[in-house]
Amino acid sequence: MRSRNFWLLSCVAISLLGAGKRPPGLGDVTDVRLFDHPSYSRVVIELSREAQYEARLLEQPPRLYLDIEGVWIEETFRGPREAKKDSPLAQVRGGQNTLERARIVMDLHDARRDYRIFTLKKPYRIVVDVPRGAKKMPPVASNDSTFDLRPVRRVVIDPGHGGKDPGAIGSGNIREKDVVLRVSKALRQRLTREGFEVFLTRDNDRYKTLEARTQFANRLNADLFVSIHANASPNKKTHGVETYLLDTRYDRQTARVAARENGTTIDRLNEVQKILASLRLGYNERFAARLAEKSHKSLLSGLRSNHSGTKDLGVKRGPFLVLFMADMPAILVELGFVSNKQEAKRLKTDKFTQNAARGIANGIVRYRDDHARSLVAGR
């Protein structure tokens, strides 16, 4: 009874504060979203700007809350929002803890001692993961053990950026989001002809967050996830193609690419690396590595058929958030540099679009066929 009374008094207090007059100069909570994963439930709190926050876990009653400074939460996003029955969360609710501090409360079904929290930018989001059924946050990848037992049929293609996020903008005002959407559509067409079931995370010029992209693939139980991007560099002479798979290891060049694609800064990659360090990369890695090698080699061959000067920047590893949130083998392909005048000119052409799509598709087909032979061989 005491816990229930405390909860009711808390709700009343938050409601009374929320009824106060909003002070000037505050940011906003622009969305609160819930996602379910086989290993955890995720709450994404989207803000209009970067903000300082503090998280605290309490046991009576069990709940996790975030106090976000300098932020106002409108009635629309205060909830409560009910979670699914099998979620570790009971509900998510929000309000004004003070007139200049928003509070997001995640009510839990039982007392827990572990959670994972990190931030993303463009737009600024605070992401909270709460594990299912265990005191310690489990690895994100939970379905990897099935990849050596099932054929490759369903592929999700992810055209990076989109909508309000143009991605890299290069020579001649070329926009990354336009280039990758064209190639992704052509890739879908080619893979469909090869017998794959293919889905795009976006098929028009709209914005989707990183977590929404991989959640889409996870819900579909996809066999492969391929994120398509175009690169940029302060050095206008830099050119070539490269393919990435997930890892905590990276060099300075990879750090720059990962920071841009993650919507964060190079300085904050250490924070991302700590998150990735908890993942079980080993088993999934060998599938992603095979996919990356075959796709990269085939893409390079396809582009060089018409552009002999295409530079091979290799297959690399890095802390890409869009890859670590995927349940299946996942790679990220950088088609070329929009910042390089000659390469940007090629990236705009239909010939490049078709050659790139054909190259990646051929690599995926080879991966599928090799995997099918290994299934027959029982290894």
Q: Are residues 7 and 118 located together in one domain of the fold?
A: yes
- The count of domains in the chain is 2
Per-residue pLDDT of the chain (379 residues; tens, 9 = 90+): 444 444 444 554 444 444 568 889 999 999 998 887 767 788 999 999 999 999 988 888 889 999 999 999 998 888 888 888 888 898 999 999 899 999 999 999 887 667 888 887 778 889 888 887 655 544 443 345 456 677 899 999 999 999 999 999 998 899 999 999 999 999 999 999 999 999 999 999 999 988 889 888 988 889 999 999 999 999 999 999 999 988 766 667 777 777 777 776 666 656 665 555 444 455 567 889 999 999 999 999 999 988 888 999 999 988 787 787 788 899 999 999 999 999 999 999 999 999 999 999 999 999 999 988 877 765 5
Distance between CA 145 and CA 139 in Å, rounded? 13
| Residue 138 falls inside a structural domain | no
Asked whether residue 190 falls in the same domain as residue 258, the answer is: yes
CA distance 134 to 183: 42
The CATH number linked to 189 is 3.40.630.40
In sequence order, what E strands does the chain have? Answer: 27-36, 40-47, 53-59, 62-69, 71-72, 81-82, 89-98, 101-108, 116-120, 125-131, 154-159, 197-200, 224-231, 241-246, 312-318, 330-337
Q: Does residue 236 sit in the same domain as residue 368? A: yes
* CATH code (residue 43): 2.60.40.3500
The pair of three-digit structure tokens given for residue 132, joined into one six-digit string? 């299912």
Instruction: Give dist(CA 170, CA 175) in Å, integer.
Output: 7
Q: What range defines the domain where residue 323 resides?
A: 144-377
Q: What are the backbone dihedrals phi and psi of residue 86, each rounded to the nearest 5 degrees, phi first? A: -90, 5
Residues 46, 178 share a domain: no
From CA 90, how far away is CA 84, in angstroms rounded?
8
For the question of whether the overall pTM of this predicted structure is more than 0.85, the answer is no
Shared domain for 126 and 187, answered yes or no, is no
In a domain, 136, yes or no: no
Residues 292, 187: one domain?
yes
Domain end call among 131, 159, 191? 131
* 13 CB-near residues (< 8 Å, 6+ apart): none
